[in-house]
Amino acid sequence: MLKNFYANLFLANHIFTDEEPTLQLKLIFLNTIFLVAALAAFIIGSFRWHAGFALWQENTIVGILNFIFVIFNLVFFYYLKYNKEKIDSIANVALVLSFIVYFSIYLTASDNSMRLGLFFLLLAAVFYLKGRRIAFIWLGIILASIILVHLAPSIPDNYSHLEIFTVCIHLIALFFILNTHEISRDNRERIIKEFNIHLEHQVHQQTLKLRESEALLLATVESLPFDFFVVDSSGRLSMQNSIFRENWGNITGKRLEELSFDKTLLSQWGENNRCAFAGQTVNSEITTKGHTGVKTYHNITSPIRNNNSIIGIVGVNIDITERKRMEKKLLHSMKETQETNHELRKFNYVMARDLKEPLKTISHYTSFLQEDMVDLLTAKQEKYLKELEAIANDASSMIEDISLLTQISHVDIEKKSVDLGALLKNISRSMVFCLSRKWTFSPRDINEFQPAWGM
């Protein structure tokens, strides 16, 4: 209430811009001076009136000046209260009229030894309202007026030369004190202004960098080849990229409970968000049905931390529909392969059993012939029988090896040294026996082959 009364009394509720703080202070200063001066002059004039008519006769001019001073102070107070734009003109008029009144009191109130103190107030007011240059001119006018009146023989001022000299020195000292304060204030304002300019430059530079970083961040988010979203601490979606908008629509600023998606999907999203706000990084798969069919996403949701406090969550949805389709197809192919291998192993087992039996029979009959006809066989015939038995045994071993080879993925592989020379000798012996009657076979020296690693 007092603040409103003060604003209405001295400022008339004027509105000042940020560039007018000095104007506001000057307005308050002038209105305060006008009001206080009018009140003081009225009290002094009233005292002289009530002190008696005899005292009034001795100070008639001073009493009239007091009441005139009251009137023009009140007029200025009222006028300035509603015309702030006229403050410079009113200040000039008020200073001139104040000087006239103070000078008149100096001339007429010779019995008042304190009357020169009014010029100190006037000089301080000029310095504040008009600045040091105008105040310096007014100092010269005040000093000249005081000295000329004191030196005029026809005007008694009741001051000694020393008192006048002292007053002049004090006025000059007051001027330099105020001037020093003004210079100090100007320096402070200059330093503050330079600091503000530097600070504004720094703020501008940091703002540009911040905008560049923000633009880079937005471009990065928009360039991501998958869904990207950010949820703030209140649970509202605060950021999403273009791919997210294409897949889910523009839902920025909304909560999960405000969306019209599938309830199962929303429940899974909500659970992932709750875990992320609890400080966990969530990896899960989300399946959704849309106009383009069933899609599967790999969802990663993680908390956003600031000074050990979670201020939001960030998440991505990576479309893995094609990968899941390929995985399903691969599993189906693996199952078919396993079934085929199983059938092949069964076939190999049967084939190996059916093929080894005739070979064993051949080997047995060959042995029987060698034993029963040992005295009837020629050397060449005996050689043929031995070769035939060896070939049957080799074929049986080869079938056994083929059977083992089909089971290679189901047995432990044991590496051992293989004599390649012996292997080639067996091969050449078989070939020589089979082809000896058609063309000549001359194997090279196979004893030079080095052993190799095999099964």
Residue 388: the pLDDT is: 77
The secondary structure of residue 230, as a DSSP letter, is E
Which segments of 274-391 are extended strands (E)?
A: 282-290, 293-306, 309-319
What residues contact 56, with CB distance under 8 A and at least 6 apart? 48, 49, 63
Contact in structure between 237 and 231 (CB atoms under 8 Å): yes
CA 100 from chain centre, in angstroms, equals: 66
For the chain, count helices (H), then strands (E). Answer: 13, 7
**Tokens 């002038």, located at residue:** 30
Fill in the amino acid letter for 237. Answer: L
Residue type, 251: I
Along the 455 residues of the chain, how does pLDDT read in single tens digits? 445 554 555 554 555 565 556 777 777 777 787 788 788 878 877 776 665 444 445 556 666 767 777 887 788 788 777 777 788 888 888 888 888 878 887 887 777 778 888 899 889 889 888 888 899 999 999 999 999 988 888 887 788 889 899 999 999 999 999 899 888 888 998 999 999 999 999 999 999 999 999 899 889 888 888 899 999 988 898 889 988 888 888 888 888 878 878 888 888 888 999 999 999 999 998 888 766 678 888 999 999 998 889 999 999 999 898 888 898 999 989 888 888 877 877 777 777 777 767 777 777 777 777 777 777 777 777 777 777 777 777 777 777 777 776 666 666 666 777 777 776 776 666 666 555 544 444 455 445 545 555 54
Alpha carbons 51 and 29: distance in angstroms, whole number: 32
Sign of CA dihedral 126, 132, 136, 137: negative
The per-residue pLDDT for 56 is: 46
Task: Give me the residues paired with residue 327 across strands.
Answer: none
Out of 3.40.50.300, 3.40.50.2300, 3.30.450.20, 3.60.150.10, which CATH number does the structure's domain 225-319 have? Answer: 3.30.450.20
* pLDDT at 340 (0 to 100): 83
What pTM does this model have?
0.48
